[in-house]
Amino acid sequence: MADKLFDKILIANRGEIACRVIRTARRMGIRTVAVYSDADSGAQHVEMADEAVHLGPPPAAQSYLLGERIIEACRTTGAQAVHPGYGFLSEREWFAKALDAAGIAFIGPPASAIAAMGDKIESKKLAVLAGVSVVPGFVGEISDTDHAVRIANDIGYPVMMKASAGGGGKGMRLAFSEADVREGFDATRREGLASFGDDRVFIEKFIEQPRHIEIQLLGDKHGNIVYLNERDCSIQRRHQKVVEEAPSPFVTPDMRKAMGEQAVELARKVGYFSAGTVEFIAGADRGFYFLEMNTRLQVEHPVTECVTGLDLVEQMIRVAAGERLAFSQADVRLDGHAIETRFYAEDPYRGFLPSIGRLSHYREPPVGKGVRVDSGVIEGSEISMFYDPMIAKLITHAPTRLEAADLQIGALDRYYVRGISHNADFLSALMQHPRFRAGESVTTAFIAEEYPDGFTGAPVEDAHLPSLLALAAVVGQSAADRAANVDGRLNGDADAGADWVVELDGVQHPVTLSFAGAGSFGGAGLCVSVDGVRLSVDTGGAVPAFGVVEAIVDGRPLAVQVDRKGSGFTLTHHGRQHRMRLMTPRAADLQRHMLPKVAPDLSRFLLCPMPGLVVSIAVGEGERVEAGQILATVEAMKMENILRAEKSGTVAKLHASAGDSLAVDAVILEFD
């Protein structure tokens, strides 16, 4: 054991991972120092830390990537060690070396291992030497697009083009033809240069029907290395992970052992210690191939913590302080099943476009009983265009996989976030999808295959519809009661026993509410007749005007998110948003004769789909364009988005140019 753990550590990161490290350090009795940019001056990690040091302006290159500024912050505050989290400086060899030269411990692996594994080309060569299975591909440097085309043709399509220093789904393009390579190679190089300062690209065979399986490693400075089972990260969108789980429903015990042992051998080859992850791609035949090694803590580490009972941040701190691992491979547990979903600031109803803004309302679901939330925000926090769009991670742990998925659905129903768009509905839909719940056929193409036309909400469950209608009626009745008590209103008191009509998603349902005595949930019980079917509803007290409404409907718990919208409401439940209005029978009869409102025709405009920076405009005024042709490229949250023509036409006027910062729905150009 080490003589003494650190007294104070600095967290060279932001957001949820900074808060995550602070929580463990606090439990261990270690003081913490946060760093922050101008955009994060009021951020949660700054509030949680014992001290905080300002770094600079919002762009990461002027703040969180300034290693010398961070080292100076350590000297100023007396921090003895730095935890880098993930991203930013976590896999920069020079930063680990600079800390060592300054006499400050790096809570991570040795600089030599970071260098060896940080370059995808070199890491693949080392994997071969270590006896690890690798994907066929070209591991040298690629000089230009023509060279890339020749390599791709030799390997055979489909191929994947990857930025050598890439990660997090950035700097990756899938090519099914020579045309795809010619179109995407330069963009891959640009993304690699912009995100990682390295424009080298390598090309490898794309494994069809693939699963993304990774092995979590943990080693100490005394040569002990163990693997902590696997995680399945197959559900991805644009190569970014959306859902992670442990263990994988696809991996057999023999496969787990083989993958784990190969990962350990690779780690030994580079003298690895601390936490690290070896990523594999597995085909339908359960053959697996090395992708890369991440020499840091992974975003999805909580699912491994759930099934092993270990705190990986604590283990990293202890290893950095010189302690030996207190357990061996035989001691590693595999307890139940854990699922993590990434709660992103993006709009799944608009093609998953990024969303920025202030969290006007932020209420996490109740934690405990198998539910965990790792977040770095509070109500009022700002989601900035400068950083990753992940708001939080929702983790559930249960004896079985389906129970863990059901915990996710229930927690997402209770995760109330407003002020920005987010992907909670999409995550809930994934947890309910029959193919996900079956487990066996989930590949990295799952989202593309199951949502080829985008996301419009989870399917309505007919069995849940009567309960939803009953609670909708109670919500509408409560709103009517509040309105009736406002002085000066002409509509008088609302009668709780009156007949009503609930219009849900344009379909009208007759309902009647009546008082049924005290409810078992702690509040007044109501009897609601929906389409002639009687249901008991107990809300436990007054129904809030907005937010999460909880009730017991016919003996079963029900949680629905309620938002006022015009003369009606939006009800969100189980991954779907429902439009709801409560009307008198007379008003409902008149409503049937109302003409629908026609939306304005915006088809002659190219609108900016998200707040972002215009990278390029590919056409000029007066130019004829065809459907599918590239019109502009917009960068948002470190990703380039190519905007294409939806139909043929002629460009009449340009309203934006390269370098412009645009708001969502700003006009980029218009057609004749």
Q: Is residue 596 part of a domain?
A: no
Tell me which of 154, 181, 205 is where a domain ends. 205
pLDDT at 602: 85
Q: What is the identity of the amino acid at 501?
A: V
- Give how far Cα 391 sits from Cα of 233, 465, 602, Å: 19, 31, 32
pLDDT higher at 669 or 641? 669
288 and 379 share one domain: yes
CA 56 centroid distance within chain? 27
- Give the CATH number for residue 49: 3.40.50.20
Q: Which residue has the tokens 């080292």?
A: 71
pLDDT at 497 over 60: no
190 and 247 share one domain: no
The string of pLDDT tens digits covering residues 162-200 is: 888 766 667 888 999 999 999 999 999 888 888 778 888
- Give the CATH number for residue 237: 3.30.470.20
pLDDT at 552: 94
Number of domains comprising the chain:
5
The string of pLDDT tens digits covering residues 599-621 is: 788 889 999 988 888 999 999 99
Residue 244 pairs in a beta bridge with 340
Q: In angstroms, rounded to a whole number, what is the distance separating the alpha carbons of residues 226 and 297?
A: 15
> CB neighbours of 399 closer than 8 A, spacing ≥ 6?
336, 337
pLDDT at 524: 54
Tell me which of 558, 591, 624 is where a domain ends. 591
200 and 218 share one domain: no
The string of pLDDT tens digits covering residues 501-519 is: 999 999 999 999 887 655 4
The string of pLDDT tens digits covering residues 350-381 is: 889 888 889 999 999 999 999 999 999 999 99
User: pTM (2 decimals)?
Assistant: 0.83
Q: Is residue 127 part of a domain?
A: no
Where do the DSSP E strands lie in 177-210? 201-205
The string of pLDDT tens digits covering residues 6-24 is: 999 999 999 999 999 999 9
Name the residue range of residue 625's domain: 605-671
- Give the CATH number for residue 527: 3.30.700.30
235 and 344 share one domain: yes
pLDDT at 486 over 80: no
Q: Is 440 designated active site?
A: no
Q: In angstroms, rounded to a whole number, what is the distance separating the alpha carbons of residues 655 and 664?
A: 14
Q: Is residue 290 part of a domain?
A: yes
Q: For 161-175, 235-249, 292-306, 525-539, which range has the lowest pLDDT when averaged over its residues?
A: 161-175
Closest CA to 390 of 16, 59, 657: 16
84: tokens are: 């880098």
Q: Most distant CA pair in the chain: distance in Å?
A: 83
Residue 510 pairs in a beta bridge with 501
393 and 495 share one domain: no
Q: Is residue 599 part of a domain?
A: no
Q: In angstroms, rounded to a whole number, what is the distance separating the alpha carbons of residues 414 and 363?
A: 8
Q: In angstroms, rounded to a whole number, what is the distance separating the alpha carbons of residues 227 and 264?
A: 7
- Of 91, 214, 292, 364, catalytic: 292
Strands 390-398 and 371-375: antiparallel
> CB neighbours of 255 closer than 8 A, spacing ≥ 6?
282, 286, 288
528 and 474 share one domain: yes
Q: Is residue 128 part of a domain?
A: no
- Give the CATH number for residue 174: 3.30.1490.20
366 and 223 share one domain: yes
Q: In angstroms, rounded to a whole number, what is the distance separating the alpha carbons of residues 459 and 461?
A: 6
Tell me which of 591, 621, 643 is where a domain ends. 591
Q: Is residue 426 part of a domain?
A: yes
358 and 441 share one domain: yes
282 and 400 share one domain: yes
Burial of 282 (0-12, 13-18, 19+ CB in 10 A): buried
195 and 229 share one domain: no
> Does residue 601 sit in helix, strand or coil?
coil
Q: In angstroms, rounded to a whole number, what is the distance separating the alpha carbons of residues 642 and 628?
A: 11
Closest CA to 263 of 234, 227, 233, 291: 227
Q: What is the identity of the amino acid at 619?
A: V
